[in-house]
Chain A
Amino acid sequence: MTDSEQHPYVEWIASEARRPVLMDPGARDRIMAAVRAEPVPSPAPAWRRFLQPRVFHMSPAASTLLAAGLVGIGVLTGVVTTNRGGHTAEHPRGVAVLPSQPPVSDTLVKFVFVAPQAQNVSLVGDFNEWDLAKTPMIRSGESGLWTVVLPLSAGRHLYAFVVDGSSWVQDPSAPIAPDDGFGHANSVKLVVRGSSS
């Protein structure tokens, strides 16, 4: 610090200037009123999304290629599908291309659905824009048990299971949410930080 900066007069000016100021109390309300009239800020533009953690869906062939290229590319993390006994997966699988740790505030939630006759089951909900392709469930063995684990923010989530691409089914173990306006009632999942039910 220079001599001037330590001068008592300068220090006094600075300390006085640090005092809080009185503003018109209505000013904040005017800001929020203006903000409410704005469109909701849209998510980041396309080129920026490459910089953010993503989950990508790729064909089994592509994901095998990525796995093979693991050494060269370096930043690949996450789950790669394995084909057991030559049986190819029905759905594209998610491969995390960039580190995609869930935000610290999200809780990992497991969804379970019993459907022995199903060929494939998807989880759809307000957390994945009800997109059938985003969260395929994984069948374990012969029991007909389908599961998937994904991070959900704390709060209330609506969801359903879609069997074989067309049958929308509620979760029998969850509370029912009212008719969505399309003739079907969905299920409710409440997520409390650290746990869910």
Chain B
Amino acid sequence: MSRSPVQSRSTVPVRRRLIARLVGATAVLLLLALPLRAQEPEQDRMAKLDPKTRQSVELLVDSAMAEGLPTQPLRSIAYLGIARKAGSQQIVAAVHRKLNALRAARSVLGRVDTLELDAASSVILAGAKPSQLETFKTPQRGRSDLRAFAVWADLIMRGVPGEDASSAISRLWEDGADDATFVSLWNNVQSDILRGLNPGTALQNRVREAPGRPPTTKGPQTPEGQENARSE
């Protein structure tokens, strides 16, 4: 291709030709690139497991389905195991562990939605006893216990003794604590622990500060109500 000296120094016409060629090639690239790097469907992701492991995981998922338990948390654990390059036995054990935790949560909470069951199972996996979930058994309109469960599991993971965490969270929940209260409690306890305070002590301190039932503005409180508000 002959070019004038001026043209050969200018990059614009060359770039234009190049872009024109690239545009032409784009369609081909598009077709090639899409199937190779497209977002992997769940089936393909499971295919990363060896057939035997995959079958074991699918059996556990089937059990969950048959029992009316959520299956996505189980699959998610399998994907996590794949990403962590964990061994087959470890993956199957982890999925099984989660399934058992879901079962335990279901046995106490009954028929609650997937998210709640998943969050409750995490609390059990953190070390709480299923019976400690009793407080959350009664569904409450307009209230979500996801935050309470998240904070609860976190406190146990940070070293707060199980009984302390359970009774603090349950009591706050019974007192009608909202999301903001749990968030605030968590922020405070977390920073106290980071400053070196004993986790159990940190929690006890901060629970005392947490607002209990909002004081009734209409009419006098009953003697029992007043007593409860004062006690710790």
Contact = CB atoms under 8 A, between A and B. Distances in A.
The short answer to whether A and B are in direct contact, CB under 8 Å, is: yes
B158 interface: yes
Contacts of A39: 62, 65
Contacts of B61: 40
Contacts of B37: 56-58, 92
B97 interface: yes
B150 A180 contact: no
A132 B42 CA distance: 15
Nearest to A57: B37
Interface in B43-91: 43, 45, 61-62, 65-66, 68, 71-73, 76-77, 79-84, 86, 90
Interface residues of A, number: 50
B37 to A, nearest CB: 5
Contacts, number: 143
B197 interface: no
Interface of A: 36-40, 42-43, 46, 49-50, 54-58, 62, 65-66, 68-69, 71-73, 92, 97, 124, 126, 129-132, 134, 155-156, 158, 168, 175-182, 184-185, 188, 190, 192, 197
Interface of B: 19, 22-23, 25-27, 29-30, 33-35, 37-43, 45, 61-62, 65-66, 68, 71-73, 76-77, 79-84, 86, 90, 93-95, 97-98, 115, 118-119, 122, 125-127, 146-147, 150-151, 153-154, 156-158, 179, 183, 186
